[in-house]
A = this chain, B = another copy of it.
Amino acid sequence: MIKHATIKDLAQALGISKSTVSRALADHSDVKPETKRLVLEMAEKMNYRPNPYAQNLIRRRSKVIGVVVPEFVNSFFPRIIIQIQKVFEKEGFNVLITQSGESAEIELKNLHLLENSMVEGIILSVTEKGRNDEYYRRLIDNGIPIVFFNRPSNEVEASKVVIDDFRMAFFAVEHVLYANGTKRTRPLHLMGPKGIFNSATRHQGYKEALSKHGIDPAPDTFVQCRDISRECGFETMNAILDGDRIPDAVFCFNDQLAIGALKAIKKRGYRIPEQIAVMGFSESQSALLTEPQLSSVAQPLDLIGETAANLLLEKIKNPDAPDRTVVLDARINIRESTDVRPQQ
């Protein structure tokens, strides 16, 4: 680290006291304008930069927040993070980004790291496997507010930003049940693994839609995937296609599974969407790359990030601010995997 000019250096150069310099720099009212001008000029001249560590020490705050996401190799989380950074940059905060790689253990390690860095708050999307509920709670009790997004913890009271997974799943399923203008009778849900919060909720939406449209949500209308990867979607769909009940409408927990499923279906020569319609969820960048292009539910990523950031900011500025859960609307993007009819 470079030895920058300090407040003391400025004071000496100007022949005044440290405190006056400090006041001038902080733009206090009780400094003679002339003095202020001189200080500012000298600061410029000597390329003065306040030492944030000295400031943090005395102010008892770090001006750093932490973000914990399962991964940032897909575009989903990065897009959200960008907004978070935007909001906090304006407020003079740094953002520490960590990723848990879908492991509760690494997530815990990340939380430790953030805690040791004295972050003033954390924005977190829970990792796939397991939970660190007690630790979340401990952090909150210790005065480090947490805002959950995308995948909240159900057990912990905190502000949350989510979309209404139940409702969106319901609509998505309704759409795929009448995909391409044909009423479907053999739906299938490629479910996410149990551990994930949204998994059960989306499944509820699925079952509800089936019931509404007169289809029995029997056990053969859904299958649980081991994880939420492309590979798993491919394998699971393959296994299904090996069986007796060939579905005509597939609703997938996420786009990755859907992309894998698409591949399996195409390989067998089924026509999409005529014979089998496929619907993804939570819009990945890849949805536009597949053939056919994948219909999906697009979450408002920018808004999620912005909202989560603002909720955290609120908590940081006022620790007594109440927990708030913001439910955002998502959008169903209809593409070729459910509809190849000419655009309306």
Contact = CB atoms under 8 A, between A and B. Distances in A.
B78 A94 contact: no
A271 interface: no
A298 interface: no
B118 A62 contact: no
Interface stretch (A49-57, A129-137, A147-155, A171-179): A49-57
Interface string A54-90: 1011001110000000001111001101100100010
A157 B11 CA distance: 36
A120 interface: yes
Nearest to A67: B97
Can you tell how many copies of this chain the complex includes? 2
B94 A51 contact: no
Interface in A79-123: 79, 81-82, 85, 89, 94-99, 113, 115-118, 120
Contact of A115 (B49, B56, B79, B117): B49
A57 to B, nearest CB: 5
A1 interface: yes
A73 B2 contact: no
Nearest to A121: B1
Nearest to A259: B289
A114 to B, nearest CB: 9
A22 B153 CA distance: 38
A98 to B, nearest CB: 8
B290 A51 contact: no
Nearest to A112: B49
A85 to B, nearest CB: 8
Nearest to A96: B94
A334 to B, nearest CB: 20
Contacts of A291: 291
A120 B1 contact: yes
Interface string A220-260: 00000000000000000000000000000000000000010
Contacts of A53: 53-54, 56-57, 62, 118
Contacts of A143: 1-2
Given A75-B73, A115-B49, A285-B73, A60 B94 contact: no
A53 B59 CA distance: 11
A51 B61 contact: no
A343 interface: no
Interface string A285-327: 1100111000000000000000000000000000000000000
A142 interface: yes
A118 B78 contact: no
A52 B142 contact: no
8 contacts: A1-B61, A49-B116, A51-B57, A57-B57, A72-B78, A73-B79, A94-B96, A259-B289
Given A1-B60, A73-B78, A74-B75, 14 more contacts: A2-B142, A2-B144, A49-B115, A51-B57, A51-B118, A53-B54, A53-B62, A54-B57, A72-B78, A78-B78, A85-B98, A89-B113, A285-B286, A289-B290
